[in-house]
Structure 1
Amino acid sequence: MTIRQPLIIVLSILFLGYGFSAQASTLESGVLKEGICLQAGTQWYRHWTEKIKKVFKKEPSIKHGLLVRAKACNQSKGQEWDIDENGVISGVGGELSIYRWRKQFYPATALRHSKGLHSVRYRQQRLYFESRGSSYCLTLGKPMRFKTLPWEECLKSAESRWLFDLPPDPGAEGLIGLTGIDSNQDGIRDDVERFIERVLPDSIEKKETIRAMAISRQKIYESVENRDLVIELGTEVDIASDCFFFLSDGDPENILKKLEAATVNTEERARAWNKINSYFSGMSFTLPDDLSSQCSFKTEN
């Protein structure tokens, strides 16, 4: 019988949006198509008429700012955004704002506020703003055009999210070796971290539990030749799994299978995973009667 200690997960909730960071980073669309980022970098949209161009030229608040577009993520300066503890988003040209003209909303950066501008805040992974007493979010439609949704609808749609501070897609280089690429040095492979952010949008606790599991699995890959350490780390994975089952009311087993598929995604990693599993052959494990005992959450303000 294996005695399991509770998994202690520290959650740092600094404001109403997830992913606060003191460093500039990208805001990537949470729609199914990956790799589309928010970018400041033009005075007007190419398809605009001369009439609307004149309107924006006369607007003093955004005269020295830039319109914002959805572009392929490329780590350029225009795709760098800062988010403070109040959710204020700043980039090249000033704070992210919404300009309303003829019932249309246009995102732009601005150095100062005016009557026609609406400040955008990062809340619950959405771009939140208010206009005429109502709350909205800015999301991405087709083809690569912005659209707005009432706030209540935003919260029901995972695709209305903008993911802050995601590591870049490692591409083919992320498939090399057992441990892949961890560009932000948080203990999770970049491709696995991106998977977690997209699949688990609804709960900080679930996400942090899965992250704890991913970190332990990454350590297992790094220690594949050390049987004793692998078994010790395997217990950590089991504890996180129990905690995740407690937190989930849907189909947690399906999500865990998808996580394993995302982790064991090359022949080399599959061979190592088979070796790791062989260390546990013949061992028995006992589930606790109360799965909630496997996770304890502490919130830091």
Structure 2
Amino acid sequence: MQTKTAASLRVMAMGLTIFLTACGGGKSPDKPSNGAEPTVKASRIALDEDTDVRGTDADHNGIRDDIDSFIDISGETPARQAALRQLSAALHQAVTTDVAQTVALKITAGQLNLAIACMWDRFDARQAPTQVTRMEALTANTKERSRAYEAYNKAVSGMSFPLPKGNGCAQ
């Protein structure tokens, strides 16, 4: 019975994360959920504000270089940095996915679901939604990227996706 209860709690927690992520929570990406000063503020990193939705990804790891730099100096543990990178890659995929391609949308949504599950595994229930919202804000930091992310969310609205098995973490 405890396994069923744990699974129910996880489903509720993921639903809450997705809800909070969609709503944005009204918090600044520089404010951590525990009220303490952040280790690193986004303003210390020069964010790529190019009109190109893709941005610069010199190492071709699927994450914009400015966001990669932000994660590098975040002060988080290697396991948490891996979760942030997995989420960042999935969010980057979301803003660059062709919203007319249903299969691509489903693949991207699956990657995003895994990444959010991983965030809930690596961060506590107070930190996970804030970290997800922070990474969304960094990803959609220009009008063009924000519109692309909004178009992605509109395109997947109403679709259903299976919950990830395991913790969702790629690493």
Both structures adopt the same fold (TM-score exceeding 0.5): yes
Q: Compared with structure 1, are the counterparts of its residues 293 and 223 closer, same or farther at alpha carbon in structure 2 (3 Å cutoff)?
A: closer
Q: Which has the higher contact order (CA 8 A, sep 6+)?
A: 2
Report the residue type matching 1:238 in the other structure.
N
Distance (whole Å) between structure 2 residues aligned to residue 265 and residue 296 of structure 1: 25
Match of 2:89 among 212, 215, 239: 215
Measure the CA separation in 2 of the matches of 1:186 and 1:235: 18
| Higher alpha-carbon Rg | 1
User: Are 2:132 and 1:256 aligned?
Assistant: yes
Q: Contact 2:91–2:136 at 8 Å: present in 1 too? A: no
Residue aligning to 2:156: 280
Kindly provide the CA deviation profile for residues 254-299 of structure 1, in whole angstroms up to 9, marking residues without a partner as x. 01101100100111111111110112121234546xx7542364xx
Deviations 1:17-67 (A, max 9, x none): xxxxxxxxxxxxx875747xxxxxxxxxxxxxxxxxxxxxxxxxxxxxxxx
Which residue type is aligned with residue 194 of structure 1?
S
Partners in 1 of 2:153 and 2:130 — Cα distance? 20
* Residue 211 to residue 220, structure 1, CA distance change in 2 (3 Å): same
Given that 1:170 and 1:181 are in contact with CA atoms closer than 8 Å, whether structure 2 keeps it comes out as no
Task: Tell me the TM-score normalised to structure 1 length.
Answer: 0.38
Q: 1:185 to 1:251 in 2, by over 3 A?
A: same
- Give TM-score scaled by structure 2 length: 0.63
1:85 alignment counterpart: none
Provide the aligned C-alpha RMSD in A.
2.6
Following superposition, the deviation at residue 216 of structure 1 comes to 2.5
The alpha carbon displacement at 1:196 in A equals: 2.0
Is 2:47–2:67's contact at 8 Å kept on the other side of the alignment?
A: no
- Count of equivalent residues: 130
Report whether the alignment pairs 1:187 with 2:65: no
Could you tell me the percent identity over the aligned residues?
25
Seen in structure 2, the aligned counterparts of structure 1 residues 208 and 276 have a Cα distance that, compared at 3 Å, is same
Unaligned runs of 5+ in 1: 1-29, 36-168
Which structure has greater helix proportion? 2
> Which runs of 5 or more residues in structure 2 are unaligned?
1-38
SS of the residue 1:180 aligns to: coil
Structure 1 residues 265 and 236: alpha-carbon distance in aligned structure 2, compared to 1, 3 A threshold: same
- Equivalent residue runs for 1:1-301 within 5 Å: 34=44, 169=46, 174-199=49-74, 201-225=75-99, 226-249=101-124, 250-285=126-161, 287=163, 292-295=166-169, 297=171
Larger strand share, 1 or 2: 1
Counterpart residue type for residue 94 of structure 2: I
Do 2:83 and 2:122's aligned partners in 1 also have CA atoms closer than 8 Å?
A: no
CA pair 170-181 structure 1, distance change in 2 beyond 3 A:
farther
